[in-house]
Structure 1
Amino acid sequence: MEQNDRRFAVLIDADNVSPKYIKYILDEVSDQGIATYKRIYGDWTDNEKRSWKNVLLDWSVNPIQQYSYTTGKNATDSAMIIDAMDILYSGNVDGFCLVSSDSDFTKLAQRLRESGMFVMGIGEQKTPKPFRTACDTFKLLEIISSEDASEVVENVKGRGPVVTIKEDPANIAAIQKTITGIDEIQRAISKLLMENNGVNQPIGLARVGNFLSKRFSDFDVRNYGYSKLSTFLESMNNSEFQLVKLHGGYFVQEKSASISKTEIEQELIRIIQGSGGHVDNLSIVHDELKKAFPTFDVKQYGFSRISSFIRSFGKFKIKDNMIQLK
């Protein structure tokens, strides 16, 4: 089945979502498949929910009435969970979109995934991490709605037409503190290139994007202020990989080592001989190599450890973290 043919049950917790987000929620689901069920749960006798009426009519979302039986208890959660399980057993959908910023739905997301369902979570920045990671993918409402942020129009006298400036989300910095860090993403890509790659063979950009989405449920280039994965990767200032264009498409490739192994071998010999024929700690050798070659990184040569890299020369002996010439 094609990804865009997935049938989704969209279940929304009205107690944790504003009406202004409905359009963006359904747009996000349409990128993944078809919204077969569109239900929203809440106590519709509450005057505070009057603002929902026109929104639900415009977007054909079915309101499910759930009275608040006891003050301080959220009966909406229970109704939504029961409906989710009924829909699961009906066999009519391929995935669920759970819209809430409440961690109470963490177990539900886990259970649905155990049954083979694709689970998309959508919530605000305040959504706890357990719920985010329990989903296959998690989208932030502040981010997915920011693309249509209000625009400020400035009239510049005597300077031609009106200038339109699009605002950035005010809390973008705060949001980025709650999502997967760029350093962690870089390490994951480097590991992918090292473990699943031939000798400096490029990997397709789409494959890298799919890998990141599976590895990090909250991964979305929009969270970092970009609209394209290629632009996001190009912005990374790292010494391990680079974005290249080949045959009309984009690929990710390890950066070629700028220092020849012959130069490194000569430097290793110099370090060992200058230390009386042996060096007691490999970390000292690594530091000395970095001093001699500031861009040195064993990963550029296909290794993850300095010890394995040094052994590859065949001229050096390593024992108990000590290195010497054979």
Structure 2
Amino acid sequence: MIEDRIALLIDADNVSAKYIKPIMDELSKYGNITYKRIYGDWTSPYNLSWKEVLLQNSITPIQQFSYTYGKNATDSAMIIDAMDMLYTSELEGFCLVSSDSDFTKLASRLRENGKLVIGMGEEKTPIPFRKACDIFTVLEVLLEDSTMENTEKVQAAASSAKELKHSSVDVVKNQIEEAVIKIIMENQNDNKETGLGEVGSRLLKLYPDFDVRRYGYSLLSKFLETFPKLKLKQDGTKVSVMLYEDKSRKDLLEEYILQQIKNAGKQGVSLGTLGNRIRNRFGDFKVHDYGYSQFKSYIQSFRDVKIEDDGEQNWAIYVKNMES
């Protein structure tokens, strides 16, 4: 099997030499690195740390003098080379290593031409550049992953989990859970199972900088198992991701809803009122947790319950109340 050919282009002005080994190791997962180039002013003392690293990894340094103070000539040279490669070389992908947002347009252009764009940069990398890439990896995560011993990883994961409880990463984690639930719901509507591989692929499209290692895990499956609303099912080598149903809670909820509709008599109860009552009783109620994208569809699924529209709002009515 022929591996995809990838060009590695590094902005030496915005990346430290200490990241080169993790970069090379990570990029090897995606294919064969055909071009390995790094751009910078090699007359500058700030770039001396790169010399030994470049020799060891056979990376070609491209000299770019800083012609004008405050102007980044390195960015321009790297962009020009990338465009030349796009039209003259048979490459499947590009890896742009920089913490600079100046490469956002380049990443977008390469993707428009059907190329895989892998971005790598430090935590400070601006969001626009991250989003412009198919995949974005934080270099600090790569460095930590490649240098820590297994025992240190366990300790770091435990301590970071405590630190993340009240941090912004927790919000992102909640967003990821909601995104996975939505993916499962969409597949359920089409009578399709949701494979672990599909979840990983879809998450990368939604969040190009998504990486389970940021949460202290090495496998996506282990990461997803931490979400209370999700469960994994393995059948041979196939792993599916499913919604976890709390049977006792589900039964209590359905019993409560049906009782509210019955007690409303022949007129029934408006869906707005019913929804408010449910949220007051079951604070974290979300209809998609129960396999539906709309509250109306969920209520319609109850036996002996029908929905009537009076032109202003929808009403849930217990059919047997109308017969009495």
Query: 1:231 matched to which residue of 2?
Result: 222
Aligned residues of 1:200 and 1:254 also touching (Cα < 8 A): no
Aligned residues of 2:64 and 2:73 also touching (Cα < 8 A): yes
2:305 to 297, 300, 315: 315
1:64 to 62, 66, 69: 62
After superposition, the CA RMSD in angstroms is 3.2
Aligned residues of 2:228 and 2:244 also touching (Cα < 8 A): no
- Which amino acid in 2 is paired with 1:218? D
Structure 1 SS opposite 2:107: helix
Structure 1 SS opposite 2:78: helix
TM superposition shift of 1:165 = 4.1
Return 5+ residue gaps in structure 1 as ranges.
Answer: 152-162
Aligned residues of 2:65 and 2:73 also touching (Cα < 8 A): yes
- Which amino acid in 1 is paired with 2:198? R
Aligned residues of 2:187 and 2:194 also touching (Cα < 8 A): no
1:306 maps onto 2:295 in alignment: yes
Aligned residues of 2:145 and 2:213 also touching (Cα < 8 A): no
Query: 1:196 matched to which residue of 2?
Result: 187
Structure-2 change in CA distance of 1:202 and 1:114 (3 Å): closer
Identity %: 46
Aligned residues of 2:118 and 2:134 also touching (Cα < 8 A): yes
TM superposition shift of 1:30 = 0.5
TM superposition shift of 1:200 = 7.9
Q: Distance in 2 between matches of 1:122 and 1:178?
A: 19
Moved more, 36-45 or 283-292: 283-292
1:121 maps onto 2:97 in alignment: no
Query: 1:31 matched to which residue of 2?
Result: 29
Q: Distance in 1 between matches of 2:221 and 2:81?
A: 40
Structure-2 change in CA distance of 1:315 and 1:20 (3 Å): same
Query: 2:44 matched to which residue of 1?
Result: 46
2:172 to 174, 181, 194: 181
Q: Distance in 1 between matches of 2:76 and 2:37?
A: 14
TM superposition shift of 1:54 = 0.6
Aligned residues of 1:278 and 1:322 also touching (Cα < 8 A): no
Structure-2 change in CA distance of 1:80 and 1:250 (3 Å): same
Q: TM-score, normalised by structure 1?
A: 0.83
Structure-2 change in CA distance of 1:45 and 1:284 (3 Å): same
Q: Distance in 2 between matches of 1:46 and 1:125?
A: 25
1:218 maps onto 2:212 in alignment: no
Q: Structure 1 or 2: larger helix share?
A: 2
TM superposition shift of 1:196 = 1.6
Q: Distance in 1 between matches of 2:18 and 2:279?
A: 53
TM superposition shift of 1:284 = 3.0
1:207 maps onto 2:204 in alignment: no
Aligned residues of 2:5 and 2:33 also touching (Cα < 8 A): yes
TM superposition shift of 1:115 = 0.8
Give 1:1-326 correspondences, 5 Å limit. Answer: 5-149=3-147, 165=152, 168=156, 177=168, 181-197=172-188, 202-238=193-229, 241-256=230-245, 258=247, 267-275=256-264, 277-278=266-267, 281-289=270-278, 297-313=286-302, 315-319=305-309, 320-325=312-317, 326=319
Aligned residues of 2:270 and 2:316 also touching (Cα < 8 A): no
Residues 225-254 of structure 1 show CA distances to partners (whole Å, capped at 9, x for unaligned) of: 11011110011122xx31122235422112
Moved more, 180-189 or 269-278: 269-278
Residues 86-139 of structure 1 show CA distances to partners (whole Å, capped at 9, x for unaligned) of: 111113211100000000000000001111110000000000000000000000
Aligned residues of 1:280 and 1:323 also touching (Cα < 8 A): yes
Residues 213-272 of structure 1 show CA distances to partners (whole Å, capped at 9, x for unaligned) of: 22321111112211011110011122xx31122235422112246269997666445324
Q: TM-score, normalised by structure 2?
A: 0.84
Moved more, 178-187 or 210-219: 178-187
- Which amino acid in 1 is paired with 2:185? M
Aligned residues of 1:6 and 1:33 also touching (Cα < 8 A): yes
- Which amino acid in 1 is paired with 2:306? F
Structure-2 change in CA distance of 1:131 and 1:266 (3 Å): closer
TM superposition shift of 1:74 = 0.5
Return 5+ residue gaps in structure 2 as ranges.
Answer: 320-324
Q: Distance in 1 between matches of 2:40 and 2:17?
A: 12
Q: Distance in 1 between matches of 2:224 and 2:252?
A: 31
Structure-2 change in CA distance of 1:52 and 1:171 (3 Å): farther
